[in-house]
Structures are given as C-alpha cells and as structure tokens.
C-alpha cells in the first residue's frame, strides 16, 4: 500500500469529568506524492487528527495503516528551530552521520530560497525565513510524509502567499507527500490535490482534483456529486 489509510478512527479526551468526543469515526485515504488538506473550523479536531496520523498520539479505536516506509516529519505553526544552531545545523538536525549529505542539504536549502543564509542563526532571520528553514528541516529528514499544522498561519498576508507558492513548487519538484491542516478555504483550494472537510468529528465532504485547474470529483454526505 502507498500512502496512509485511516479506518474508523475515534478519539475522545477527558477534561475534568467531561468527555469530549473529538473524532467520531474518521475513515480516510491519504495518497502519497500529493498534498492532502484537512479543512475545518477551529476546535473541530484537525490537530488531533494530524497528531494521530503522525504517531504523536494514540487513537482510542480504529486503525492507521502506513505504506512501506513510515517516517514522518512535522512542521508546526511556529518554526520551533533550535536557537543555538544556524540554518545548516537546524536543517540537518535529526539526521545521523550516515544520513548527512552536503550536496543534498545545499539543494534543499536552495529549494526553500535560503541559500546564502546557511550560517545565519534563527534570531537573524525573519519569521518567513525561519518557517522556510523549518520546512527544509522536514524535507531533509527524508520523510515518507510531512505533517503540516497551519504552518503559515502566523505569517503576514504577503509572506503567506509567497510561502504557499514556494511549498507548491517544492512539493511538485520533490513529489513530497504532505498532510496539511488549515482553516483557510483559499489556502486549501490553492494547495490541495485532495481536500477533506471535517465537521463534528466526521468527514463531512471531500474533493479530489485531477489537476490544479479544477476538474475532479466531490463527495458530500455519502454521495458523489
């Protein structure tokens, strides 16, 4: 199997004495080499779904089936770089000695537009540049999947637009497999090969595009439309 398959995922949290049922039976296929977007309002369980899929948390029931390789990298809303390491050190962080490859690291840093900044420390970079370094770190890890949780939410409008285009370009070039969480419909439509809409703990609808220009299929409430 290629990609990731979620089968009937349930997750609830206990807060004080109250049970919060966050995911109530999510089934979903996340193909490889594409961007799958999870879209939904604040609090609907997007981050929870991403964390479960990436293995940071356990579901209460259901199954998560991974393809042959199961190596995930995360990009969060904030860059979470190591302040004492420069860009090069941050990008190669998490790789052991055998996995480090100078040319490949250079390529990845160039792909996110940070060539010339290899020796800069996070405090010497703008917010957008730091987030690009975080994306480079995720790519360098050779993940089978990259989990991105609203990675551009903290950026201003112009930087966000630029970053979305850069992500699209890098994804197309490297054919990365990405699960991308957002609550922005515009961002979902721009980036997603497949868009999954979550509402009240369930998959409300999904759209799959054959091409970025728009042709595709749409499923809603059990019907293909």
Ligand X SMILES: Nc1ncnc2c1ncn2[C@@H]1O[C@H](COP(=O)(O)OP(=O)(O)OP(=O)(O)O)[C@@H](O)[C@H]1O
Q: Which does 127 bind (CB under 5 to 8 A by kind): ligand X, Mg ion, none?
A: none
SS3 147: strand
CA angle (204, 195, 164) in 5-degree steps = 140
Rule CB under 6 A: is residue 22 a binding residue for ligand X?
yes
Rule CB under 6 A: is residue 128 a binding residue for ligand X?
no
Minimum distance of Mg ion from residue 70's CB (angstroms): 23
Q: Which stretch binds ligand X (CB under 6 A): 46-54, 58-66, 89-97, 124-132?
A: 46-54
Minimum distance of ligand X from residue 191's CB (angstroms): 16
Rule CB under 6 A: is residue 43 a binding residue for ligand X?
yes
Among 30, 46, 79, 147, binds ligand X (CB under 6 A): 46
For ligand X, the closer of residues 48 and 131 by Cβ is: 48
Minimum distance of Mg ion from residue 41's CB (angstroms): 10
Minimum distance of ligand X from residue 147's CB (angstroms): 12
Cα separations (Å) of 164 from 17, 53, 181, 190, 215?
41, 23, 13, 8, 21
Rule CB under 6 A: is residue 223 a binding residue for ligand X?
no
Backbone angles phi, psi at 36, to 5 degrees: -105, 130
Alpha-helix residue ranges (DSSP H) falling in the chain: 46-53, 87-91, 102-111, 127-140, 157-174, 185-191
Contact 168, 180 (CB under 8 A): no
User: In sequence order, what are the beta bridge partners of 14?
Assistant: 19
Applying CB under 5 A, the residues found at the interface with Mg ion are 47
Rule CB under 6 A: is residue 147 a binding residue for ligand X?
no
Q: Write the interaction track for ligand X spanning residues 173-212; mark x where CB under 6 A is met and - where it is not.
A: ----------x-----------------------------
Sign for the CA dihedral angle at 97, 103, 107, 109 comes to positive
Q: Which stretch binds ligand X (CB under 6 A): 35-43, 109-117, 207-215, 217-225?
A: 35-43
Three-class DSSP labels, 162-218: HHHHHHHHHHHHHCCCEEEEECCHHHHHHHCCEEEEEECCEEEEEEEECCCCCCEEE
Contacts to ligand X by CB under 6 A? 13, 15, 20, 22, 40, 42-48, 183
């Amino acid at each position: 199997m290629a990609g990731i398959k979620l089968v009937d995922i349930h997750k609830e949290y206990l807060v004080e004495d109250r049970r919060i049922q966050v995911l109530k039976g999510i089934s979903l296929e996340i193909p490889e080499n594409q961007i799958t977007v999870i879209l939904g309002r604040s609090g609907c369980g997007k981050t929870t779904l991403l964390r479960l899929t990436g293995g940071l948390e356990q579901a209460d029931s259901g199954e998560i089936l991974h393809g042959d390789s199961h190596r995930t990298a995360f990009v969060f809303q904030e860059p979470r770089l190591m302040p004492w390491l420069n860009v090069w050190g941050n990008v190669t962080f998490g790789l052991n000695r055998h996995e480090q490859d100078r040319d490949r690291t250079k390529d990845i840093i160039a792909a996110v537009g940070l060539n010339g900044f290899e020796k800069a420390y996070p405090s010497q970079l703008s917010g957008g540049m730091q987030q690009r370094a975080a994306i480079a770190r995720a790519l360098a890890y050779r993940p089978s999947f990259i989990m991105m949780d609203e990675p551009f939410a903290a950026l201003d409008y112009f930087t966000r637009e630029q970053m979305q285009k850069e992500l699209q370009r890098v994804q197309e070039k490297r054919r990365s497999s990405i699960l991308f969480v957002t609550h922005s419909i515009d961002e979902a439509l721009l980036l997603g090969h497949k868009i999954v809409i979550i509402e009240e703990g369930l998959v409300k609808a999904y759209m799959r595009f054959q091409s970025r220009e728009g042709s595709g299929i749409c499923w809603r409430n059990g019907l293909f439309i």
